[in-house]
Amino acid sequence: MISQLSKASRLGIISLTAASLFMAQATWAQDFSAVEIKTEKVTGNIYMLTGRGGNIGVSAGSDGIFIVDDQFAPLTDKIKSAIGDIQSGDIDFVINTHWHGDHTGGNENLGKAGTTIVAHDRVRARMQQGGRDLDFRNPEPEASVPDSLPVITYNDELGLHLNGDAVRIYHAPRGHTDGDSIVHFPSSNVLHLGDLYFSTGYPFVDRDSGGSLQGVIRAIKFALRLSDDDTKIIPGHGPLADRSDLQRYYDMLVGVRDAVQSHIDRGHDLKQTMAAKPTSQWDEAWGEYFISGDQITVVAWQSLSLDYAHQKPRRQRHGHGHQH
């Protein structure tokens, strides 16, 4: 078993780190001056901004402006300009769906301007610690500066009553990372799922940050329970989606999990499982965006073999926010 886990670790590091290093090099070479921030109305007073990095959700109304995620620091002025075309005024709140730099890169600029930053406890902890950031800011980033850190954090669930909506923020344990948030706008019938949901491809699961395929599946199942046929869903990456799109994503995730589990049940190690190409029926539709079939196989095998073979899902409980 020790030698088998060693093989799994080596293969996992090779497949996932190769992808992240490639993207890191691409990011370092980017000219952000060429990036255009595009605005798409989702419904009512909710909008989605796309540019480079994670999709941004915007709520604009009588209580002010708050956003979900903020992409990269060099794009802050362009993001503010795009939001200004929706509604004038400062950005009052930003919710970080997780700690990766393509979702939190604008935090420092916004924090210095007086924006209140909100996130899960683990987001603040990981940003304070620094370390390996697979979202491609830097393979070994330093700890974040104080102005970029969330000042309000929560453990399981948090409510914000703004712009006519009782917004709920839910922690999704051990999904894309260990600090993911699902942001639900119930009155607007909108969900922002951060990087728990890639609407055009397999999920990127950051195992170095506590992520697991099982956690992603549980989070998406929970999001489906929050949604109906009219729900609009903002993914971390990819175009705006609806419940039917999310259901297809969930069905794919469950299919991948079960296909890999069948090999584990037969005593196959990671190398044998990968050789069998258990994700081949989904690769054409889901494996061309960022994460390949081999990479999601590694994640699934490690999640099922190493993390969750004997663990039950943690029950959600009501939590409280914390001021820092």
pLDDT tens for each residue of 30-83? 678 899 999 999 999 999 999 999 999 999 999 999 999 999 999 999 999 999
- What letter does residue 314 receive in the DSSP assignment? P
- Assign residue 131 the CATH number of its domain: 3.60.15.10
Mean pLDDT of the chain: 86
* 234 pLDDT above the threshold of 90: yes
% of the chain residues with pLDDT over 70: 81
* Of 236, 248, 255, nearest in space to 98 by CA: 236
**87 confidence band (pLDDT: 50, 70, 90):** very high
The count of domains in the chain is 1
Q: Return the ∠ at Cα 81 (arms to 75 and 85), rounded to 5°.
A: 145
**Given a cut of 60, is residue 102 above it in pLDDT?**
yes
Higher-confidence position of 270 and 1: 270
Least confident of 45-54, 121-130, 192-201, 257-266: 121-130
96 pLDDT band (50/70/90 cuts)? very high
How far is C-alpha 266 from the geometric centre of its chain's CA atoms? 32
**CA separation for the pair 170, 319 (Å, rounded):** 10
Give pLDDT, residue 22: 36
Q: Which residue has the higher pLDDT, 322 or 167?
A: 167
Cβ atoms of 91 and 106 within 8 Å: the answer is no
What pTM was estimated for this model as a whole? 0.85
CA gap 142, 159 in Å, rounded: 31
SS3 (DSSP) at 78? helix
Range of the structural domain that residue 113 is part of: 2-323
* The residue to which tokens 């009501």 are assigned: 318
What residues are paired with 321 via a beta bridge?
154
Average pLDDT rounded to a whole number, residues 211-215? 94
Query: Residue 98: is its pLDDT beyond 70?
Result: yes
* Distance, CA of 21 to chain centre: 19
Please compute the mean of the pLDDT values over residues 172-197 and round it to a whole number. Answer: 96
pLDDT tens-digit map of 127-175 = 988 755 444 444 455 666 788 899 999 999 999 999 999 999 999 999 9
H helix or E strand, kind and range, residue 160: strand 157-162
Confidence grade of residue 6 (pLDDT, cut at 50, 70, 90): very low
Q: Between β-strands 38-43 and 46-50, what pairing exists: parallel, antiparallel or unpaired?
A: antiparallel
- Tokens 């987001």 belong to which residue? 123
Q: What pLDDT score does 141 carry?
A: 54
Q: Phi, psi at residue 319, to the nearest 5°?
A: -125, -175
Which pLDDT belongs to residue 321? Answer: 61
Which residues, other chains included, contact 158 with Cβ-Cβ below 8 Å and sequence gap of 6+? 118, 152, 168, 169, 319, 320, 321
